[in-house]
Chains A and B, each alone.
Chain A
Amino acid sequence: MTPVATPFFFYLLAATMIIGGLLVITSKNAVHSALALITALLAQAMIYLMLYAPFVAGVQIILYAGGIMVLFLFVIMLINLERTQKERQFNKQWLVGLAAAGALGFLFVSIYLKGKRLFPAGNASYPETQNTQAIANLLFDRRGGTYMFPFEIASLLLLVAIIGAVVMAKKRI
């Protein structure tokens, strides 16, 4: 049974993400930017669901939209941003920035168009009911899965980040 509404949902979610991204970089109010980023992240989680990756979608909603963006909103609340809404929002070198981003975009598009033939078409069929189990196999296998070492390094990284954030935000060291 082939799903018939898949392109419609994809375009809807992609448009939501792009509009959210545009609102992030162009709104005067920082809280508006944070809320636009939350909608972009939620749309991306829905695209992950369409791509048969339910575990990554769940991780994204819980960690990214539910953790990192809440952290951002706390910091926006702590620093007083009323004055900065009346000032200029964009840099003095915004034109150069736009030109550099345009050149980068041109590079991406040309790489994609030239390299489309090089990669194999791919076969994409694995059941999504076993997705969490399969990811756990890669991470946590008894004889050391493929990603056990990066997993431990990630925990070390989080420890360093916690210490760094606490030291940065203390009043007296």
Chain B
Amino acid sequence: MFLLGVIGVLTRRNVVIILMSIELILNAVNLNLVAFSRMWGGLHGQVFAIFIITDAAAEAAVGLGILIAFFRNKETVNVDEVNLLKW
């Protein structure tokens, strides 16, 4: 799952799909945490997974806000067009 998310982030041009691939990466990490929390007893892994879900919600909100502002200026959602800072 982690690799699928990484491939999605690295190869797609559409910004929305890049953000969704980042969510895939976070989910893979969550699954790992909960599985190890089951294997070794103790609920710390699950509590940390809940915090990661909260954090992913905040980051998705801010990322989508940036995307909306970006789309309002350039009318496109390709990341290849984000070249205002290039020399």
Contacts and interface: CB of A to CB of B under 8 A. Distances in A.
Interface in A144-159: 146-147, 150, 154, 157-158
Contacts of A15: none
A168 B69 contact: yes
B68 A79 contact: yes
Label chain B's interface by main secondary structure: helix
B63 to A, nearest CB: 9
A24 B60 contact: no
Contact of A30 (B14, B38, B47): B14
Contacts of B8: 24-25
Given A75-B64, A166-B65, 8 more contacts: A17-B1, A92-B80, A108-B3, A158-B54, A158-B57, A161-B61, A164-B62, A165-B62
Interface of A: 17-18, 21-22, 24-25, 30, 33-34, 37, 40-41, 44, 47-48, 51-53, 55-56, 59-60, 63-64, 67-68, 71-72, 75-76, 78-79, 81, 83-84, 87-94, 96-98, 100-101, 104-105, 108, 120, 122-126, 131, 134-135, 138-139, 146-147, 150, 154, 157-158, 160-162, 164-169, 171
Interface of B: 1-8, 10-14, 16-17, 19-21, 23-24, 27, 30-31, 34-35, 37-41, 43-44, 46-47, 49-51, 53-62, 64-69, 71-72, 76-78, 80
Leading 8 A-B pairs by shortest Cβ distance: A97-B10, A168-B65, A25-B8, A161-B58, A165-B65, A21-B4, A122-B39, A94-B11
